[in-house]
Amino acid sequence: MTSFPFHVFIDDMNLTQFFKENPKAAIAFSGGVDSSYLLYAALSAGADVTAYYVKSAFQPAFELEDAKRLAAQLHADMRILEADILSCAEVTANPPNRCYFCKKQIFSAIAARAEEDGHTLILDGTNASDDAGDRPGMKALAELSVRSPLRECGLTKTEIRRLSKDAGLFTWDKPAYACLATRIPSGTVITAELLEKTEKAESFLTDMGFTDFRVRLADGAAKLQVPAGQMEKVMKNRESILNELKKYYSAVTLDLEARDA
């Protein structure tokens, strides 16, 4: 069992009790706020867990680096799996319920490797703030018997951020991040080229200091969605942004309906 290096900050006894009742599990680990706290909670409760990160074309490079960093911080046992998500026609067709097919692929890969490692229980970081009615991926999780301890214990996103900050996890204020495929309109076929363009464009803006933004594909153009407080920064850097993003898109537009930060 992995030793846990930090003082225990968990104040939700239900979550602690969950791991007392389920002391061995596989955790689907993305390096985001929720799965990071779930991993922390499991280790602090003394559970024997393995973290599984699934690397695919839908995840930008920084997500894997964050996952590695957090796993190292927690001294967690982490496995990196490869998933050729673009080989799944039901995913690349990009229907409205694409997330359902994607989750089936991802969690089936985790389940197969977890079984080899001696795990029969799979957990994910879905929290109590997530709307099940608006998430086709949650249907796939239910079909695969994946459990969501944060949701089961009533922990909201706000609470998880607070607990993560108390625990000293660098992920506590990490912006919410949806996979690269969400930048491509439903019905538009997802290709490696479109995903690579998205990642390059968003990496460029991240390096410029923009946060919690999106670069969405709109009829071949890039539609920038940034928080209201960053619109002035877009205009100040207009020429640089145009020069870079027009390498990948036919045009660049700014969505004046500010993205909620």
Answer whether residue 104 shows pLDDT above 70: yes
Q: What is the pLDDT of residues 18-30, one digit of tens each?
A: 999 999 999 999 9
Measured distance CA(87)–CA(173) in Å, rounded: 34
CATH of 15-173, one of 3.40.50.620, 3.30.70.1060, 3.20.20.70, 3.30.413.10: 3.40.50.620
The CA-based diameter of the chain, rounded to the nearest angstrom, is 57
In the three-class reduction of DSSP (H, G, I as helix; E, B as strand; rest coil), residue 246 is classed as: coil
pLDDT score of 133:
57
The angle formed by the CA atoms of residues 145, 18 and 48, to the nearest 5 degrees, is 85
Assess contact for 186 and 96: CB atoms under 8 A: yes
Average pLDDT, the chain: 92
> What's this model's pTM, rounded to 2 decimal places?
0.89
pLDDT for res 106? 95
Q: Does residue 4 carry a pLDDT above 50?
A: no
| Phi, psi of 180, rounded to the nearest 5 degrees | -60, -30
Burial class (CB in 10 A: 0-12, 13-18, 19+), 123: buried
pLDDT band at 11 (very low <50, low <70, confident <90, very high): very low
pLDDT (mean) for 133-148: 84
CB contact set of 22 (below 8 Å; sequence gap of 6+) = 47, 121, 147, 149
pLDDT attached to residue 138: 83
What residue spans define the domains of the chain? 15-173, 191-254
Q: 191 is written with which tokens? A: 């290709």
Strands 214-218 and 221-225, how do they pair? Answer: antiparallel
Which residue in 259, 248, 253 sits closest to 224, CA to CA? 253
Partner residues linked to 26 by β-bridges: 50, 122
Q: What pLDDT digit, counting tens, does each position of 59-83 carry?
A: 999 999 999 999 999 999 999 999 9
Least confident of 11-15, 29-33, 101-105, 242-246: 11-15
**CATH tag, 191-254:** 3.30.70
What is the model's pLDDT at position 79? 98
